[in-house]
Structure 1
Amino acid sequence: MKSLKVLFFGTPEFAKTSLQAIHESSHEVVGVVTVADKASGRGQKINQSAVKIFATENNLPVFQPEKLRNTDFLEEIAQLNADVFVVVAFRMMPKVLFEMPELGTFNLHASLLPDYRGAAPINYAVINGEKKTGATTFFINEKIDEGNILLQDEIEISADENAGELHDRLMEMGAKLVVKTLDGLAENSITEKAQPEVLHPKNAFKIFKEDTRINWTQDSETVRNFIRGMSPYPAAFTTVKIGEEEKVLKIYKGKVEMVSHQNSPGVLEINKNEFKIFTNDGCYFPLEVQLEGKKRMSVKDFLNGFQQYDQISQL
């Protein structure tokens, strides 16, 4: 089989796994493009992307342009003579860049396109209670996640799986799909196909802080799916009042019970053994929480930290 020369674009751990799979395949990684290093935290420590760390450890050329249209950067990339560009969890690319390689530029997206185009496909698949999702490789064009499909692979979502757990499984599956796509392009055995026209595709827009607040007026299963779809990141939250102080309470995991009650949604009941919050058709029992200013902990440890439970109320 022909070995392709690949230029890889990516940033986080999800992308690093695909880069590693390509590096260990019969194809040649001629360069890696990733985000610039940035300082963060109290000590302003310089952090490198997971993709850069792997590339450096394996002596792969690294490019970290601030602007993808930069003339010097484009000239450097052109000199690599890559057959194909592979993009995983990166930013939007200009046409002058993605049209450069002979075989084109393809992206790995963590959904079964055309559903869940956008920045948070894994989260929304769980939030919406999907029973299955998958990964898609597709040629990049000027529209976000709308290019012609190359390959797709499907995966079931278990009833109690959260977004983080699904992320890790899709990361491994997606890496294999990327290599399979490269093999197919090398052998000219893949027939690209246009994405199906869908009147109301399910979207996966970027999640902002205000999107992560729990709506207790929804039914219990919807609340449960929302919380596991936001877990562990960015984490769903509610607010509680402890004495006279308002606090954010992140909830990572819980269970539901369908019971009839007369309480308003969002009202909580708490004692030394139990913590429950009422929804419109039952109760949600948090199992893992994080109170503002505290570390993440089991609900048992959370309850052990209080003496006067009547001081805690829902806002």
Structure 2
Amino acid sequence: MKIVFMGTPDFAVASLDALKNAGFDIAAVVTAADKPAGRGQKLSESAVKKYAVEHGLKVLQPLKLKDPDFINELEQLKADLQVVVAFRMLPEVVWNMPPKGTINLHGSLLPQYRGAAPINHAIINGEIETGVTTFFLKHEIDTGDVIFSAKTAITDEDTAGTLHDKLMHIGADLIVKTVKAIDGNTYTEVPQPMNAELKAAPKIFKDFCDINWNQDLQTVYNHIRGLSPYPTAFTSLNGKNLKVFKVEKDFTIPTQTAGTYETDGKTFLKFATNNGYIKLLELQLEGKKRMMVDEFLRGVRLVD
């Protein structure tokens, strides 16, 4: 079975690598165009492109997915199946092209957490379980018939970063299982329930990352770890933006207003919520590098 793989970030590389190691014929890899990055604005290649080039795979980088030249080149590959992991929304002319269809890997247990940021929102909402799902693409985003899913626990210490890595590897295994089932025609498509009470996972914008200290301790804690390390929760410290990467809970009942901070100027910095404190462990002040709290306090005067 001939496969065209579509993906861009590290999350997708694991699935591409698993398919290649399983012996599937990767006819081509479709990924994002190179983009200027960094101070020198040098062209940066996607993680998927780097992998593909290293392993001698054909790479396509269309600027527009409806470009006639790209569509023609895709048709000439005569792929049996397309596999999409962490890529752009596809036009129907692309996803409807292969005879065996186009499958997608999504970072949640569908139909829950459809959208661009399922990993972040699952943690932010305090879920204790999530997973990955493979499904066939159709018109409405993340609504296609489910092929397989795999579950994993979310611990109280998980961040978006650690959960991302867990799901990346679970997802790679599930992609291989799914492609093998399609190749052997040993799968059953299950329509997603239409009447389920759904939780969404929309794209996250900057204003959503601003920490609301007036909420309860667990809610603030979930918000911070659900945005770590990216796009990162932040607050204001003496008029400057302070990104917060790693924290722990302090169940001491605050004696001051939520959002007020306490510090000994040496080892700890904590902010009051409405029923406890959030102790900052790893942070980054505007204009500075990311660092641990003790290093940060050595360079910033917060107490007289």
> Partner residue of 2:263?
270
Match of residue 248, structure 1, among 241, 244, 250: 241
The whole-number CA distance in structure 1 between the counterparts of 2:27 and 2:288 is 45
Provide the secondary structure at the position in 2 that maps to 1:72: helix
Q: What is the 5 A alignment of 1:11-90?
A: 11-90=8-87
Question: 1:285: Cα distance to partner?
Answer: 0.9
The whole-number CA distance in structure 2 between the counterparts of 1:306 and 1:91 is 42
The answer to whether 1:190 aligns with 2:158 is no
Match of residue 253, structure 2, among 260, 266, 290: 260
Provide the secondary structure at the position in 2 that maps to 1:180: helix
The answer to whether 1:146 aligns with 2:143 is yes
Q: Is the 8 A contact 1:289 1:298 kept in 2?
A: yes
What amino acid does structure 2 have at the position aligned with 1:59? G
Provide the secondary structure at the position in 2 that maps to 1:233: coil
Question: 1:198: Cα distance to partner?
Answer: 4.0
Provide the secondary structure at the position in 2 that maps to 1:304: helix
Question: 1:11: Cα distance to partner?
Answer: 0.4
Q: Is the 8 A contact 2:263 2:302 kept in 1?
A: no
Q: Is the 8 A contact 2:49 2:59 kept in 1?
A: yes
The answer to whether 1:299 aligns with 2:293 is yes
Q: Which runs of 4+ in 1 moved over 4 A?
A: none
Task: Using the aligned pairs only, state the percent identity.
Answer: 50
Question: 1:257: Cα distance to partner?
Answer: 2.1
The whole-number CA distance in structure 2 between the counterparts of 1:19 and 1:308 is 49
Question: 1:199: Cα distance to partner?
Answer: 4.4
Q: Is the 8 A contact 1:114 1:198 kept in 2?
A: no
Question: 1:158: Cα distance to partner?
Answer: 1.3
Q: Is the 8 A contact 2:131 2:151 kept in 1?
A: yes
What amino acid does structure 2 have at the position aligned with 1:287? L
The answer to whether 1:209 aligns with 2:206 is yes
The whole-number CA distance in structure 2 between the counterparts of 1:157 and 1:167 is 11
> Partner residue of 1:313?
none
The whole-number CA distance in structure 2 between the counterparts of 1:44 and 1:305 is 31
Question: 1:261: Cα distance to partner?
Answer: 3.3
Provide the secondary structure at the position in 2 that maps to 1:79: helix
The whole-number CA distance in structure 2 between the counterparts of 1:284 and 1:180 is 42
The whole-number CA distance in structure 1 between the counterparts of 2:273 and 2:195 is 33
What amino acid does structure 2 have at the position aligned with 1:183? K
What amino acid does structure 2 have at the position aligned with 1:157? I
Gaps of 5+ in 2: none
Question: 1:40: Cα distance to partner?
Answer: 1.6
Q: Is the 8 A contact 2:254 2:273 kept in 1?
A: no
Q: Give deviations 1:221-249, integer Å, cap 9, x for gaps.
A: 111111111111111000011xxxx2111
**In the comparison of the two structures, how many residue pairs are matched?**
303
What amino acid does structure 2 have at the position aligned with 1:228? R
> Partner residue of 1:171?
168
The answer to whether 1:228 aligns with 2:222 is no
The whole-number CA distance in structure 2 between the counterparts of 1:296 and 1:306 is 14
Gaps of 5+ in 1: 311-315
The whole-number CA distance in structure 2 between the counterparts of 1:303 and 1:200 is 46
The whole-number CA distance in structure 2 between the counterparts of 1:71 and 1:150 is 31
Provide the secondary structure at the position in 2 that maps to 1:309: coil
TM-align CA RMSD: 1.1
Provide the secondary structure at the position in 2 that maps to 1:232: coil
Q: Give deviations 1:44-94, integer Å, cap 9, x for gaps.
A: 111000111111111111111111111121111111111100000011101
| TM-score, normalisation: structure 2 | 0.97
The answer to whether 1:101 aligns with 2:94 is no
Question: 1:284: Cα distance to partner?
Answer: 1.1
The answer to whether 1:289 aligns with 2:283 is yes
- Which one is further off, 270-279 or 133-142? 270-279
Q: Is the 8 A contact 1:139 1:150 kept in 2?
A: yes
The whole-number CA distance in structure 2 between the counterparts of 1:204 and 1:193 is 22
Question: 1:197: Cα distance to partner?
Answer: 2.3
- Which one is further off, 7-16 or 70-79? 70-79
